């Protein structure tokens, strides 16, 4: 068998490349490491070789940090004038002193720099995401002049796909304030012919689509008005990606005919490489309406956007659109019942509606982490200020102004922050890399800007500003405190003694309390996100996802025009799938859990009055007889479908428990009749009640659902579901072949295990929870370090007192109790304050993330106890130290 | 009569030049680093070696060329080094200086 070539750990390799002394050295350095890695692997085994590689990579990073720091120091030093303007000279001296101070205290400076690198890095990364994904997700020319009207229903704020074909035509009429409007709608298609068939992401677009986005073709032409004639609309533009992937970048593809959904289409042009709007589209086709479609006001599946004329404000355009919308409302009251017009900016309308909120949450978490880091640093500086009390007092005594001393301490902090900056940028770059790698391609297409996240000049500039601000925040308090003129006391007793001590230690204890109060809500938030994600992916689903493989294929109208043809395909596919070794049960469904779409049908119940204003809808699935058995969805009452439920036999349906309880409360639905869809559809007799399933954790749990036999309602959307006796992923290839054996032009897509599908569906939430967990962990570590350092300082300061206490008969237990009690009191106060913040933050998260329950008392308790335990643990070590004080030596000093 | 060398060799650069000479035709970053470790007992940080080689190349004491891409390097090329004429001259001059200063010190240094 052919073993895949041994490769170094990718993340370490990436780090090593980045840390090479220059771009020229990246390949050589990585090549050296690769070569030596293979040698180490041969000699000592792969595990050791990986560890070896990581050590080498980290060594290179440490080297790089040294180089960067030296270069920065040199640059600052040479940039500072030694003579000339007095203020600059003063500043130069300040910074020179600051550099010297930093180098004289390598350990303290190192701690500060690492803390800052992590805290600042987290902030730079979240700000970068916010900037790319929310503020500037698109890069079209003058994107800020694009606007997006949507006809939202009162209960659905989602801005896309709200306009029906007739509406598109109404908006296409000329405007005073807009250059034009364009529309687009989903058109994913099967691309066949030549190689293996493929499901490609496509959109139908109107003639103004490309001009409004200011796009020019890379080859050929884009779509225009002449392509929009109904019946002659078989021209397509393909993306640069599809051109390269599928057609080997052959320029002659322009003018060639390709088969889409079984029908010939002419490729008229290729879009420029960066153009993939909307949603990573690979094909654009003309949007053309038949005479009857053009009057359709009910299928709201299209998205409209427009471009403002020069010098026209959004408000003016909104007013004109509002007027047109009112006219539509008056003319077609039924179609516009409960609808209102919302005009948004293009970027606001196009991005995922939850994205800004999530990013605000991350940014808030990152700021909290940075603040906790700042508290730690402030504490450290306070301690250092205490140690330097005498030096500063001497300076003040011989005539330095207080401002002069504060300025020097501020300069020291600024230097620390600036030195931490490159490391912070590296942390941000690492976060971007991890974040990009963790997102499945299936989802990346829905997040515009995702691929562009990077550390660039703009972000670096922002980081400098953030670093300076941070330096001021963490150093101002200690600087003011240390420069408080209290000369006589300090100079007289040599810096030791009670003067100013009470005040200083109150400040330090206050900082620790603040730190715990900040860390607690962060930990609660990360706990909530983690619990939510866990529940989604591993909680009860109403079916058994283990041991199941699923695959999708969609039958185009052109190749499978009749219900008979669709049913024949479906049944032959199930037969073919049953032949695969290891497959126990095979079934199909038009829609199944974890698939993003969730089609609804209007529900009419026999014998119940119909309110025309408020129709009831129910989720609809056409399934094969073994569907419930394959997914192990229990049949609660009645029976499942059988092969006899077909064609001329009595039309039947199965309803979910939630539907039974809601529509037939207190009675059995068995034998009752219902109708799905329009009034000309047949009455279906309910023969069974199935257990509830969770279709989608985000918006459809325990939804009323109706199942019908696919043999009585053949569907074009086919989800093949296989329960296997072998690991399900091992039959994936055979499944692909089974689909091809029934119809070689049918592409299979999204072939994956149910467990994997669930994982992908919850990626967003897991993502949020992973980042929040990282923030939470950082906060916990920083808070623990903070408590430890304050307690250690407290013990050191009170050595004398401890000695006296021990000399007077205090036992080691008493000393430990005294010290730990001090730590516990600070923790308790911080926890009480933090719980208040925590409840507030949990409420915010409840609104933000579906499935998060704000008040999970056990979680609050766990987090509070964890922090308390960390506080006690952090004060135990200094307490043990305190008991080791030798009374005699402590008293002698 | 030879002219005085224009360049002064640092100790590290001196060692690297000797290592490159030792490796002969096969001198590349990996073998030079290994030679420094085995023959001189010097474990050199990778980045430091790279920057020193860059410096030597700027001074015209070594020249480099890239080899073909190799599978065992993950499809990346080796960078090969050779000492130039002025590089050899600099090494000779450094040795002459050391020899001149060390003359007559055999007893002190305990050399045979």
Taking only the tens place, the pLDDT of each residue in A660-694 is 999 999 899 999 999 998 888 899 999 999 999 88
Residue A369 and residue A250 share a domain: no
From residue A832, give the alpha-carbon distance in Å to each of A158, A507, A524, A783.
39, 19, 13, 15
Rank A146-155, A188-197, A211-220, A843-852 by mean pLDDT and report only the highest: A211-220
Cα dihedral sign for A763, A768, A770, A771? Answer: positive
Kindly determine whether residue B46 and residue A34, on different chains, have CB atoms separated by under 8 Å: no
Kindly determine whether residue B77 and residue A31, on different chains, have CB atoms separated by under 8 Å: yes
The Cα of B82 is separated from the nearest Cα of chain A by a number of Å equal to 16
The last residue of a domain, from among A307, A329, A350: A350
Helix (H, G, I), strand (E, B) or coil at A384: helix
- C-alpha gyration radius of chain A: 34
Q: What is the per-residue pLDDT for A499?
A: 46
Best probe of the A interface among B47, B71, B75, B80, by most A CBs < 10 A, is B47
| pLDDT tens figures, A745-779 | 899 988 999 988 888 877 777 777 888 888 888 88
Domain count, chain B: 1
Q: What is the per-residue pLDDT for B79?
A: 93
Cα–Cα distance, A450 to A462 (Å, whole number): 20
Kindly determine whether residue A27 and residue B78, on different chains, have CB atoms separated by under 8 Å: no
B45 contacts on A by Cβ (under 8 Å)? 59, 63
B32 contacts on A by Cβ (under 8 Å)? none
- pLDDT for residue A783 is more than 80: yes
Please check whether residue B1 lies inside any domain of the structure. no
Q: What is the per-residue pLDDT for A790?
A: 79
For residue A26, the chain B residue with the least C-alpha distance is B76
Q: Where are the beta strands (DSSP E) in B1-112?
A: 62-70, 76-83
β-partners of residue A153 are A339
Q: What is the per-residue pLDDT for A353?
A: 67
Residue A333 and residue A198 share a domain: yes
Of the pLDDT bands very low, low, confident and very high (cuts 50, 70, 90), residue A211 is very high
Helix or strand run (H / E) with residue A249: none
Please check whether residue A549 lies inside any domain of the structure. no
Question: Of the ranges A364-368, A381-385, A426-430, A631-635, which one carries the lowest mean pLDDT score?
Answer: A381-385
Best probe of the B interface among A13, A20, A32, by most B CBs < 10 A, is A32
Of the pLDDT bands very low, low, confident and very high (cuts 50, 70, 90), residue A854 is low
Residue A148 and residue A129 share a domain: no
- pLDDT for residue A699 is more than 60: no
Kindly determine whether residue A28 and residue B74, on different chains, have CB atoms separated by under 8 Å: no
Cα–Cα distance, A504 to A491 (Å, whole number): 17
Torsion over CA of A815, A818, A822 and A825, rounded to 10 degrees?
140
- pLDDT for residue A475 is more than 70: yes
B26 contacts on A by Cβ (under 8 Å)? none
Please, what is the average pLDDT of chain A?
A: 84
Report whether A366 contacts A130 (CB < 8 A): no
Residue A171 and residue A130 share a domain: no
Residues 52 through 81 of chain B touching chain A, CB cutoff 8 Å: 54, 70-74, 76-79
The last residue of a domain, from among A79, A109, A127: A79
For A3, residues 6+ apart whose C-beta sits below 8 A from its C-beta are none
Please check whether residue B64 lies inside any domain of the structure. yes
Please check whether residue B107 lies inside any domain of the structure. no
Q: What is the per-residue pLDDT for B107?
A: 78
For residue A38, the chain B residue with the least C-alpha distance is B72
Of the pLDDT bands very low, low, confident and very high (cuts 50, 70, 90), residue A488 is low
| Of the partner residues B30, B51, B54, the one whose CB lies closest to the CB of residue A36 | B30
Q: What is the per-residue pLDDT for A793?
A: 77
Kindly determine whether residue A34 and residue B76, on different chains, have CB atoms separated by under 8 Å: yes
Please check whether residue B110 lies inside any domain of the structure. no
Higher pLDDT among residues A408 and B50, named by residue: B50
Q: What is the DSSP string of A337-378?
A: TTEEEEEEEHHHHHS-TTHHHHHHHHHHHHHHHHHHHHHHHH
The Cα of B14 is separated from the nearest Cα of chain A by a number of Å equal to 21
With 0.80 as the threshold, say if the pTM is over it: no
| Of the partner residues A20, A22, A30, the one whose CB lies closest to the CB of residue B74 | A30
Q: A183 — alpha (psi -120 to 50), left (phi > 0) or beta?
A: beta
Please check whether residue A548 lies inside any domain of the structure. no
Higher pLDDT among residues B51 and A448, named by residue: B51
CATH number, domain with residue B88: 1.10.10.10
Rounded to the nearest 5°, which phi and psi values hold at A866? -60, -45
Please check whether residue B56 lies inside any domain of the structure. yes
Euclidean distance between the first and the last CA atom of chain B, given in angstroms as a whole number: 32
Rank A162-176, A373-387, A408-422 by mean pLDDT and report only the highest: A162-176
Q: What average pLDDT score do residues A292-321 get?
A: 88
Kindly determine whether residue A21 and residue B30, on different chains, have CB atoms separated by under 8 Å: no
Please check whether residue A754 lies inside any domain of the structure. no
- pLDDT for residue B33 is more than 90: yes
Please check whether residue A396 lies inside any domain of the structure. yes
Q: What is the per-residue pLDDT for A182?
A: 93
A64 contacts on B by Cβ (under 8 Å)? 47
Cα–Cα distance, A576 to A737 (Å, whole number): 9
Q: What average pLDDT score do residues A846-869 get?
A: 78
Torsion over CA of A19, A25, A29 and A32, rounded to 10 degrees?
-170
Please check whether residue A85 lies inside any domain of the structure. no
Helix (H, G, I), strand (E, B) or coil at A818: helix
Please check whether residue B77 lies inside any domain of the structure. yes
For A32, residues 6+ apart whose C-beta sits below 8 A from its C-beta are B29, B30, B33, B46, B73
Cα–Cα distance, A835 to A844 (Å, whole number): 14
B72 contacts on A by Cβ (under 8 Å)? 34-35, 38
Percentages helix, strand, coil for chain A (3-state, rounded to 5) are 55, 15, 30
Q: What is the per-residue pLDDT for A498?
A: 47
Residue A269 and residue A193 share a domain: yes
Residue A161 and residue A121 share a domain: no
Paired tokens of A627: 């569907």
Question: Of the ranges A207-211, A380-384, A577-581, B47-51, which one carries the lowest mean pLDDT score?
Answer: A380-384
CB neighbours of residue A506 within 10 Å: 10
| Of the partner residues B29, B33, B47, the one whose CB lies closest to the CB of residue A63 | B47
Paired tokens of A388: 């330097």
Report whether A853 contacts A839 (CB < 8 A): no
Please check whether residue B36 lies inside any domain of the structure. yes
Burial string for A232-261 (b: 16+ CB within 10 Å, else e) reads ebbbbbbbbebbeebbeeeeebbeeebbbb
Query: Running DSSP on this structure, what letter comes out for residue A753?
Result: E
Kindly determine whether residue B54 and residue A21, on different chains, have CB atoms separated by under 8 Å: yes
Residue A694 and residue A572 share a domain: yes
Percentages helix, strand, coil for chain B (3-state, rounded to 5) are 60, 15, 25
Kindly determine whether residue A21 and residue B70, on different chains, have CB atoms separated by under 8 Å: no
- pLDDT for residue A339 is more than 90: no
Q: What is the per-residue pLDDT for A183?
A: 93
Chain B interface includes A23 (CB < 8 A): no
Of the pLDDT bands very low, low, confident and very high (cuts 50, 70, 90), residue A208 is very high
Paired tokens of A602: 């209007």
Q: What is the per-residue pLDDT for A853?
A: 64
Please check whether residue A120 lies inside any domain of the structure. yes
A34 contacts on B by Cβ (under 8 Å)? 72-74, 76
Strands A652-656 and A684-690 come out as: parallel
The Cα of A35 is separated from the nearest Cα of chain B by a number of Å equal to 5
Please check whether residue A89 lies inside any domain of the structure. no
Residue A212 and residue A65 share a domain: no
Of the pLDDT bands very low, low, confident and very high (cuts 50, 70, 90), residue A497 is very low
The Cα of B65 is separated from the nearest Cα of chain A by a number of Å equal to 11
| pLDDT tens figures, A570-584 | 999 999 999 999 999
Residue A501 and residue A490 share a domain: no
Helix (H, G, I), strand (E, B) or coil at A546: coil
Please check whether residue A756 lies inside any domain of the structure. no
- pLDDT for residue A500 is more than 70: no
Cα–Cα distance, A639 to A648 (Å, whole number): 19
Angle at CA A106, nearest 5°, toward A100 and A107? 150
CB neighbours of residue A683 within 10 Å: 14
- pLDDT for residue A568 is more than 80: yes
Burial string for A454-488 (b: 16+ CB within 10 Å, else e) reads ebeeebbeebeebbeebbebbbebbbebbbbeeee
Rounded to the nearest 5°, which phi and psi values hold at A548? -125, 135
Residue A152 and residue A127 share a domain: no
Which has the closest alpha carbon to B6: B72, B75, B60? Answer: B60
Of the pLDDT bands very low, low, confident and very high (cuts 50, 70, 90), residue A277 is confident
Residue A13 belongs to domain spanning: 1-79
Rank A252-256, A360-364, B102-106 by mean pLDDT and report only the highest: A252-256
Burial string for A566-577 (b: 16+ CB within 10 Å, else e) reads bbebbbebbebb
Higher pLDDT among residues B22 and A194, named by residue: B22
Q: What is the per-residue pLDDT for A88?
A: 57
Q: What is the per-residue pLDDT for A600?
A: 84
Residue A113 and residue A261 share a domain: no
ipTM: 0.89
Residue B33 belongs to domain spanning: 11-101
Q: What average pLDDT score do residues A213-239 get?
A: 88
Of the pLDDT bands very low, low, confident and very high (cuts 50, 70, 90), residue A73 is low
| pLDDT tens figures, A13-71 | 888 888 888 888 999 999 999 999 999 999 998 889 999 998 898 888 878 777 776 77
Strands A257-260 and A548-554 come out as: unpaired
Residue A358 and residue A330 share a domain: no
Query: Running DSSP on this structure, what letter comes out for residue A656?
Result: E
B46 contacts on A by Cβ (under 8 Å)? 29, 32, 56, 59-60, 63
Q: What is the DSSP string of A156-216?
A: ----SS-B-HHHHHHHHS--SSEEEEEEEEE--EEEESSSS-EEE-EEEE-TTHHHHTT--
| pLDDT tens figures, A411-431 | 888 888 888 888 889 889 888
Question: Of the ranges A234-238, A474-478, B21-25, which one carries the lowest mean pLDDT score?
Answer: A474-478
For B18, residues 6+ apart whose C-beta sits below 8 A from its C-beta are B91
B47 contacts on A by Cβ (under 8 Å)? 19-21, 60, 63-64, 67
Of the pLDDT bands very low, low, confident and very high (cuts 50, 70, 90), residue A695 is confident
Q: Is residue A731 packed enough to be buried (19+ CB in 10 Å), middle (13-18) or exposed (0-12)?
A: buried
Q: What is the per-residue pLDDT for A501?
A: 59
Higher pLDDT among residues A358 and B49, named by residue: B49
Cα–Cα distance, A13 to A57 (Å, whole number): 7
Q: What is the DSSP string of A502-531?
A: HHHHHHHHHHHHHHHHHHHHHHHHHHHHHH
H, E, C per residue of A45-76: CHHHHHHHHHHHHHHHHHHHHHHHHHHHHHHH
Cα–Cα distance, A771 to A443 (Å, whole number): 18
| Of the partner residues A27, A29, A67, the one whose CB lies closest to the CB of residue B46 | A29
- pLDDT for residue A103 is more than 80: no
Domain count, chain A: 5
Cα–Cα distance, A200 to A765 (Å, whole number): 27
The Cα of A59 is separated from the nearest Cα of chain B by a number of Å equal to 8
| pLDDT tens figures, A592-622 | 888 877 888 889 998 888 776 677 889 999 9
């Amino acid at each position: 068998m052919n073993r895949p070539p041994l490769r170094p750990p990718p993340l370490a390799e990436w780090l090593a490349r980045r840390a090479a002394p220059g771009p020229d050295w990246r390949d050589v350095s990585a090549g050296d490491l690769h070569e030596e890695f293979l040698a180490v692997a041969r000699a000592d085994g792969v595990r050791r070789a990986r560890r070896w590689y990581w050590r080498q990579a980290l060594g290179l990073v440490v080297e790089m940090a040294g180089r960067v720091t030296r270069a920065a120091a040199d640059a600052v030093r040479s940039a500072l004038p030694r003579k000339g303007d007095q203020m600059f000279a003063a500043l130069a001296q300040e910074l020179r002193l600051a550099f010297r101070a930093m180098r004289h205290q390598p350990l303290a400076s190192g701690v500060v720099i690492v803390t800052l690198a992590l805290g600042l890095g987290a902030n730079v990364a979240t700000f970068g995401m916010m900037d790319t994904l929310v503020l500037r997700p698109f890069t079209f020319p003058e994107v800020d002049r694009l606007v997006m009207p949507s006809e939202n229903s009162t209960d659905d704020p989602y801005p896309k796909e709200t306009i029906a074909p007739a509406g598109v035509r109404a908006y296409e009429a000329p405007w005073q304030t807009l250059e034009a409007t364009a529309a687009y709608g989903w058109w994913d298609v099967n691309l066949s012919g030549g190689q293996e068939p493929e499901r490609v992401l496509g959109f139908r677009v109107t003639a103004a689509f490309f001009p409004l986005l200011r796009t020019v073709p890379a080859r050929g032409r884009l779509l225009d008005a002449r392509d929009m004639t109904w019946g002659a609309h078989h021209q397509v533009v393909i993306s640069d990606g599809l051109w390269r992937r599928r057609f080997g970048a052959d320029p002659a593809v322009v003018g060639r005919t390709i088969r889409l959904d079984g029908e010939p289409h002419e490729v008229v042009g290729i879009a420029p490489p960066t153009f993939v709007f909307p949603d990573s589209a690979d094909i654009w086709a003309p949007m053309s309406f038949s005479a009857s479609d053009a009057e359709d006001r009910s299928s709201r599946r299209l998205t409209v956007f427009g471009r403002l004329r020069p010098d026209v404000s959004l408000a003016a355009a909104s007013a004109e659109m509002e007027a047109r919308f009112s006219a539509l409302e008056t003319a077609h009251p039924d179609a516009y019942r409960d609808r209102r017009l919302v005009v948004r900016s293009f970027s606001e309308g196009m991005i995922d509606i939850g994205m800004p909120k999530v990013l605000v949450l991350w940014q808030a978490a990152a700021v909290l982490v940075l603040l906790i880091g700042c508290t730690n640093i402030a504490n450290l500086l306070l301690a250092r200020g205490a140690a330097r009390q005498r030096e500063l007092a001497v300076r003040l005594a011989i005539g330095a102004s207080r401002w002069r001393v504060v300025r020097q301490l501020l300069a020291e902090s600024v230097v620390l922050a600036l030195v931490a900056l490159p490391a912070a940028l590296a942390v941000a770059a690492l976060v971007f890399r991890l974040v990009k790698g963790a997102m499945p391609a299936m989802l990346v297409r829905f997040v515009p800007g995702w691929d562009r996240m990077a550390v660039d000049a703009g972000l670096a500039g922002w980081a400098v500003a953030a670093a300076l601000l941070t330096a001021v925040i963490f150093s101002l308090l200690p600087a003011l405190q240390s420069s408080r003129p209290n000369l006589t006391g300090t100079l007289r007793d040599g810096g030791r003694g009670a003067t100013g001590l009470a005040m200083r230690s109150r400040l330090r204890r206050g900082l620790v309390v603040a730190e715990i109060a900040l860390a607690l809500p962060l930990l609660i938030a990360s706990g909530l996100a983690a619990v939510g994600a866990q529940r989604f992916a591993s909680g009860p689903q109403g079916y058994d996802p283990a041991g199941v493989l699923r695959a999708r294929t969609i039958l185009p109208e052109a190749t499978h025009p009749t219900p008979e043809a669709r049913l024949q395909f479906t049944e032959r596919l199930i037969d073919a799938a049953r032949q695969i070794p290891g497959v126990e049960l095979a079934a199909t469904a038009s829609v199944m859990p974890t698939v993003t779409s969730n089609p609804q049908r209007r529900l009419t119940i026999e014998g119940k009055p119909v309110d025309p204003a408020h129709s009831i809808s129910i989720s609809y699935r056409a399934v094969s007889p073994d569907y419930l058995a394959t997914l192990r969805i229990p049949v609660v009452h009645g029976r499942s479908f059988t092969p006899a439920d077909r064609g001329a036999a009595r039309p039947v349906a199965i309803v979910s428990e939630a539907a039974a309880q809601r529509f037939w409360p207190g009675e059995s639905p068995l034998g009752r009749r219902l109708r799905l869809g329009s009034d000309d559809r047949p009455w279906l007799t309910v023969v069974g009640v199935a257990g509830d399933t969770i279709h989608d954790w985000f918006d459809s749990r325990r939804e009323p659902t109706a199942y019908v036999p696919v043999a009585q309602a053949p569907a074009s959307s086919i989800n093949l579901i296989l329960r296997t006796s072998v690991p399900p992923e091992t039959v994936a290839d055979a499944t692909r072949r089974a689909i091809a054996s029934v119809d070689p032009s049918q592409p299979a897509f999204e072939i994956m295990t149910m467990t994997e599908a669930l994982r992908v569906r919850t990626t967003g939430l897991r993502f949020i929870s992973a980042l929040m967990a990282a923030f939470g962990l950082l906060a916990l570590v920083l808070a623990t370090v903070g408590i430890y350092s304050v307690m250690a300082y407290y013990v050191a300061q009170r050595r004398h007192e401890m000695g006296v206490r021990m000399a007077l008969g205090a036992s080691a237990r008493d000393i430990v109790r005294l010290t730990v009690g001090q730590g516990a009191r600070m923790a308790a106060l911080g926890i009480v304050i933090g719980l208040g913040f925590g409840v507030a933050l949990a409420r915010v998260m409840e609104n933000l993330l579906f499935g998060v329950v704000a008040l999970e008392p056990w979680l609050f308790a766990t987090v509070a106890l964890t922090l308390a335990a960390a506080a006690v643990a952090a004060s135990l070590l200094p307490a043990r130290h305190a008991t080791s004080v030798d009374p005699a030596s402590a008293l002698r000093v | 009569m030879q002219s005085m060398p224009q360049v002064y060799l640092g100790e590290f650069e001196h060692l690297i030049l000797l290592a490159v000479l030792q490796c002969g035709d096969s001198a590349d970053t990996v073998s030079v680093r290994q030679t420094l470790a085995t023959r001189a007992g010097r474990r050199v940080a990778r980045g430091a070696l790279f920057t020193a080689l860059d410096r030597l190349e700027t001074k015209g004491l070594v020249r480099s060329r890239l080899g073909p891409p190799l599978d065992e390097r993950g499809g990346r090329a080796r960078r090969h080094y050779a000492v130039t004429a002025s590089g050899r001259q600099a090494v000779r001059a450094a040795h002459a200086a050391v020899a001149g200063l060390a003359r007559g010190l055999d007893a002190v240094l305990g050399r045979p």
